[in-house]
Amino acid sequence: MLTVNAYSATAANKPLGPTTIQRRDLGPHDVLIEIKFCGICHSDIHHTRSEWGSAPYPIVPGHEIAGLVAQVGSKVTRHAVGDRVGVGCLVDSCGECTSCRKGEEQHCLKGSTLTYGSIGKDSQLTQGGYSTHIVVTEDFVLKIPEGIGLDAAAPLLCAGITTYAPLRHWGAGPGKKVAVVGLGGLGHMAVKLAHAMGADVTVLSQSLNKKEDGLRLGADHYYATKDPETFKKLAGTFDLIVNTVSAKIDLDAYLSLLALDGALVNVGAPAQPLSVNVFSLILTRRSFAGSLIGGIRQTQEMLNFCARHRIGADIEVIPASKINEAYERVISSDVRYRFVIDAATLK
């Protein structure tokens, strides 16, 4: 067993603090990764504060992991010591069900193993990337191509694939009009990716405060949703709307912005239920859908796409001592656009 430094949550109402955890001994198909950077996802806050159900404490969050291979098991063929690698939201799945065979491990019918807060095949609780090292089976370790810094690449392992997956699935590209609701950690990646795919991109944000950023990131248009004229002007416009906000919104109002056969896809995960009037769907054959992350194959595709287009997250690198402050700033939308922890500050 390897003892490593980490930051953990011990209760829903307590700040995270330094600790040590044990990583399993390297198995024949395992990879030991020295973590260099780990992004802070809003999901980390939801989990550590038991906002999506009771968390198993103590818990080390973090599923946007970028680092270097430090050691490999005797039968590892995909990775070598020194490789630039990443780990996202998943560290294992059954590998046998129809979803896994399709490369959709995030929808494993037996339940995929999350990077933290899950019980692994070794019957131990998984602990995440707010730590100096992690051991992961080679099939769930991704290659980070040259051309993206490890710090800017870390958020791609969640924010990147969470937005890439629906854009690909619903066919974002030339001739398609795509709207992104919210310009935060997820939204800024959706704008960059949709623009690189060749779509006409619109940001729908509460105000125009981030308009300059939105246009810089690749948006063609930017509208304030606080202005009721926005919904009148844009009615029936979009082929795809990707909703990245984790807050309750008026779904019917946003559905009215879709063209015939358009889709509104939720990737944000608000704690409160959302409601929809069925007539918002049936009158113009609109769809309301959800999207999780992507499978391992598609996540690697996303990383390769980002490398070709020189896309990384816009980040603010922080020491571990500022994690709790960063959580509060995420909740206040006071980050442009993703916090990334420098794992060296955990040592």
Q: How many CB atoms lie within 10 A of CB 45?
A: 18
What is the pLDDT confidence band of residue 29, given thresholds at 50, 70 and 90? very high
Q: How does pLDDT run across 121-158, given as a tens digit for each residue?
A: 888 999 999 999 999 999 999 999 998 999 999 999 99
Q: How does pLDDT run across 298-326, given as a tens digit for each residue?
A: 999 999 999 999 999 999 999 999 999 99
DSSP line for 208-228: STTHHHHHHHT-SEEEETTSH
Exposed / middle / buried, residue 17 (Cβ in 10 Å: 0-12, 13-18, 19+):
middle
Q: What is the mean pLDDT of residues 213-221?
A: 97
Cα Rg of the chain (Å, integer): 20
What is the pLDDT confidence band of residue 201, given thresholds at 50, 70 and 90? very high
Kindly report the average pLDDT of the chain as a whole number: 95
Q: How does pLDDT run across 18-27, given as a tens digit for each residue?
A: 999 999 999 9
Q: How does pLDDT run across 170-186, given as a tens digit for each residue?
A: 999 999 999 999 999 99
Q: Is the pLDDT of residue 117 over 80?
A: yes
What is the pLDDT confidence band of residue 223, given thresholds at 50, 70 and 90? very high
The pTM score is 0.93
Q: Is the pLDDT of residue 54 over 90?
A: no
Q: How many CB atoms lie within 10 A of CB 226?
A: 10
Q: Are 268 and 166 in contact, with CB atoms under 8 Å apart?
A: no
What is the pLDDT confidence band of residue 120, given thresholds at 50, 70 and 90? confident
pLDDT of residue 204: 97
Q: Show the tokens assigned to 72.
A: 């490999």
Q: Is the pLDDT of residue 56 over 80?
A: yes
Q: For the chain, give the percent of residues with pLDDT over 90.
A: 90
Q: Show the tokens assigned to 113.
A: 């193993």
What is the pLDDT confidence band of residue 273, given thresholds at 50, 70 and 90? confident
Residues with Cβ < 8 Å from 155, sequence gap 6 or more?
A: 39, 41, 64, 185, 189, 313, 315, 338, 340
Q: What is the distance between the alpha carbons of residues 182 and 248, in angstroms, rounded to a whole number?
A: 12
Exposed / middle / buried, residue 69 (Cβ in 10 Å: 0-12, 13-18, 19+):
buried
Q: Show the tokens assigned to 246.
A: 């984790």
Q: Are 157 and 88 in contact, with CB atoms under 8 Å apart?
A: yes
Q: What is the distance between the alpha carbons of residues 257 and 128, in angstroms, rounded to a whole number?
A: 39
Q: Is the pLDDT of residue 271 over 80?
A: no
Q: Show the tokens assigned to 227.
A: 């202005």
Look up residue 162 and give its amino acid.
Answer: T
